[in-house]
Structure 1
Amino acid sequence: MAPNIRNCNFVIGYACGLLAAICWAVGGLLFKYVQDAGADEVQIARCLLQYVLVLPLLSWKKERIVQADIKTNFFVLLRCAFGASADWLFYFALQFIPLSDVVSVISSQVTLVGLFAYICLKERCSIFEVLLSILTFVGLVLVAQPSFLFGFSRYGSHTDLTKGILISFAGAVAMSSAIVSLRKLGPGIHFSITMFHYSWIGGIFSLISASSKGILQIPCSYDLIMVCLVAISGIFAQVFMTLGLQKEKAGHIAVLFSTEIIFALILQFVFLSYIPTTIGLIGTLIIFFSSVCLTIKRVYSQRQVVKNQ
C-alpha cells in the first residue's frame, strides 16, 4: 500500500473511531433529557430508522440477507441479538445511574472479550490479561461503591444503584458476546447484513419487553424529538465504528472508542452539572487504563505475529 494511501486511511480510521465514541456519549446524554419515554421506545425508534436506511444500501450492494449455510446464519443472528440487547441495556441502565458510570461499567467488555474468546474460541489468555481483568473488577467496585464496603450510597435509593450497575454489567456481557460472535463470523459478512438483522431483532425484542410491562406509548412531541435524536446518534456511532474498522486495525479503533468514558464525564459535567466522587472518578480511570493497556498489548502481539511470518 502506498504511503499516502496508508496515511489517508490512518487519518480517516482514527477520525471515525473518535466520532463513534462521541456519538455514543452524546446519545447517552440526550437520553438523560427524555422525560417519559424509556429504553423500549428508543430502541424501537432506532430499529425503525436503521431499517429504512439500510434497505437502499442492501439493494445497492446486492447482498444476500440469508447466507448459504446454516452456521453462518446462526452466528449472524446471534451477533445481532447480543448487539441489540447490549444497546437496550445501555439505555435502560441510564434510567438508574449517571452516564459516566454506565459507560465505565460497559467498557469492561474489553477485558470480558478476552475471557469469552478463551472459553468459546480457544484463544490464548495471558497472565497480563488476567491481571488487567482483575484491575478492571477493582475499577467496577470503585465506580459502584457498594454500601456494604463503603458504608454509604451516592444515590437516593440503593436499589437504583444496584439495578444500574447490574444492568450495565449485563450490557457489557452482551456486547462481549456480540464481539466474539463477530470474530467467529470473520470479515466475509458485509455490515449492512448485520444492520438489517439487528433492526428486526431489536424491534421485536423491544416490543415484547414493552408489551410485558404494558407501558408502550407514542412519546409526546418533545420526547419524540429526543428519542429520534438518540436513535440517530446510535446509528451514526455504528456507521462510524464500521468505517473506522474498514480503514484501521480493530485494536487501534478500540483504544479510541474507549475514550467514550472521557467524553461522557465531560458532557455530564457541562450539561448535567454532575460531578463524580473522587473514588468513582478513580474507578473510571482504572477501567479506562485497563482497556487501553489491554488493547495496546493485543496490537503489539499482532505486529509480532506479522513480523514472524
Structure 2
Amino acid sequence: MSSPSKEKDGAGKCSRIVGFMFALLAAIGWALGGLLFKYVKDAGADDLQFARSLLQFIVTLPILTYRKEKLFQDDLKTNLLLILRGLTGVGGNWFYFSSIKFIPLSDAISVMSSYITLVCLFACICLKERCTVIEALLSIVTFVGLILVARPSFLFGNLASESAGDLMIGILLAFASAICTTASFVIVRYLGSEIHYSITMLHYSWVGVIYSLASAASKGSLRIPCMEDLLLVSLAAVIGILGHMFGTVALQKEKAGPVAVVQSTQIIFALILQLMFLGYSPTLTSLFGSLVIFVSSVVLTLIRIRDSGRQEQNVDTK
C-alpha cells in the first residue's frame, strides 16, 4: 500500500480535535456493548453479529441513499478494500464478543487492545505515516497501562477461578480480534474521508449478515433468542453501530496510531462499568494503570494539537 490521499478535512486543528472526540465516544460504546453482552444468557456471538449487521443495514441504507453514494466504487482496488474492511470488521467484532464468554470483560479488552501498538506499526509500514519516538513510547506506555488495569490472569496468576482451557481460548479469540481490528483501522485510514462512512458501514452490514447466518446454520444454532436476550442483543447492536460510526469518523479525521491510543481508554470505561454493574472492585494496580492511560492519552492529544498548530503557522507564513 502507498500513503493515503491528503484530506482537507483532516488538516486543521479543529478536525483533529473532532477525531479524538469521536474516538473517545467509540471507546465508550464498545465498553457498553461488552457489558450488555455479559448479561446475555443463551444467545451467542452469531446472534449478536446478525442483529448488529441487520440493524446497521437498516440504519445505514437510508443515509447512503439520501447522499446518493454508490455502494460499489468505480475501481476494483477500492471495492476489494471495502469488502476486506467488512470482513475484518465482522471478524474483529465476532472474536471480541466470543472471547467475553470465556474470560472477564477487562481481560478480553486488555488482550484485544494490543491492536494499539499493532496499528502504529502497520500504519507506519503500510501507510507511510510518520511515527515519532514520543508517539511510539506513548503507545508502549498505554499498553502497559492496559495490562495494569485489566490484570490479566495469564500474567498475574490467579488461575484457580477459571479453567486453563477456557482461559487460552479466550486469549486467542481476543488476540484474533486485535489482528482484525488492526487491519480495519489501516484500511479505513488508507481509504480516507473520500469514502463516506455509510459505504464502509453498509459493506460491514451485508458481510456480517451473510457470515452470521452461514456460521449459525453450519453449527445448527440458527434460532431466535428469548425475549430478554433479544432485547439485550438488540441494544448491544445499536450501541455497536454508534461505536462503529464514531470510530470510522475518527479515523477519517486523525491518523490511525493516535486514534488507536485514544480508543484504548475503553478499558477504563469497562473497569468502571464492571464496578458499577458486575461488582468487580478495582485494585490499586488497576487505578494506577488507569492513570497511566489517561496521562499518555492527554499528552498525545497535546502533542498532536501542538503539531497541527505549527503546521497552520507555517502555512500562514508562506
TM range (shorter): 0.7 to 0.9
Deviations 1:41-67 (A, max 9, x none): 100111111111222122211111111
Task: After superposing the two structures, state which structure 1 stretch, 161-170 or 91-100, moved more.
Answer: 161-170
Aligned residue identity for 1:156: E
Q: Distance in 2 between matches of 1:88 and 1:119?
A: 27
Larger deviation, residues 73-82 vs 59-68: 73-82
Structure 2 SS opposite 1:56: helix
Corresponding position: 1:215 with 2:215: no
Match of 1:77 among 70, 79, 83: 83
Report if aligned partners of 1:104, 1:284 keep a CA contact under 8 Å in 2.
no
Cross-structure match for 1:265 = 271
Work out the CA distance in 2 between the residues paired with 1:288 and 1:160: 31
- RMSD of aligned alpha carbons: 3.4
Distance in 2 separating the partners of 1:16 and 1:186: 16
Ranges in structure 2 where 5+ consecutive residues have no aligned partner: 1-11
TM-score normalised to the size of structure 1? 0.82
Structure 2 residue 35 is the aligned partner of structure 1 residue 29: yes
Deviation at 1:131, TM superposition (A): 3.6
Match of 1:117 among 119, 123, 126: 123
| Aligned residue runs from structure 1 range 10-21, under 5 A | 16-21=22-27
Do residues 89 (structure 1) and 95 (structure 2) align?
yes
Larger CA deviation: 134-143 vs 153-162:
134-143
CA distance in structure 2 between the partners assigned to 1:55 and 1:228 by the alignment = 18
Question: Equivalent residue for 2:198?
Answer: 192
The answer (yes or no) to whether the contact 1:46–1:234 under 8 Å persists in 2 is yes
- Letter aligned with residue 215 of structure 1: S
Q: 1:106 aligns with which of 97, 109, 112?
A: 112
* Post-superposition offset of 1:132: 4.1
**Residue 13 of structure 1 contacts residue 244 of structure 1 at CA under 8 Å; is this kept in 2?**
yes
Gaps of 5+ in 1: 1-5
**Is the aligned partner of 1:230 residue 2:227?**
no
User: Structure 1 residue 100: deviation in Å?
Assistant: 2.4
CA deviation after TM superposition for structure 1 residue 84, in Å: 1.7
**1:34-183 counterparts in 2 under 5 A?**
34-135=40-141, 138-139=144-145, 142=148, 143=150, 145=152, 150-153=156-159, 155-183=161-189
Q: 1:193/1:275 Cα in 2 relative to 1: closer, same or farther (>3 Å)?
A: same
Instruction: Output the CA distance in 2 between the equivalents of 1:292 and 1:103.
Output: 21
Shift of 1:72: 1.1
The 1:13/1:210 distance shift into structure 2, 3 A limit, reads: same
Structure 1 pair 18/146, CA: closer, same or farther in 2 (3 Å)? closer
* Closer, same or farther: CA 256–131 of 1 in aligned 2, 3 Å: closer
| Residue 151 to residue 242, structure 1, CA distance change in 2 (3 Å) | closer
CA distance 1:58–1:78, shift in 2 (3 Å): same
Residue 54 of structure 1 contacts residue 195 of structure 1 at CA under 8 Å; is this kept in 2?
yes
Question: 1:14 and 1:129 mapped to 2: Cα distance?
Answer: 15
Q: Check whether the contact 1:75–1:184 (CA below 8 A) recurs between aligned residues.
A: no
- Work out the CA distance in 2 between the residues paired with 1:195 and 1:298: 28
Find the aligned partners of 2:119 and 2:43 in 1 and give their Cα distance: 32
- Any conservation in 1 of the 2:64–2:199 contact (CA below 8 Å)? yes
1:7 to 1:212, Cα distance in 2 relative to 1, 3 A: same
> One-letter code of the match for 2:196?
H
**Cα offset, 1:34, TM superposition:** 0.4
How many equivalent pairs are there? 302
CA distance in 2, matches of 1:8, 1:290: 21
SS in 2 for 1:34: coil
Per-residue CA deviations over 1:255-308 (Å, capped at 9, x if unaligned) read: 654432222111111111112454455556555655555565455445444444
- The answer to whether the 8 A contact 1:93-1:167 is kept is yes
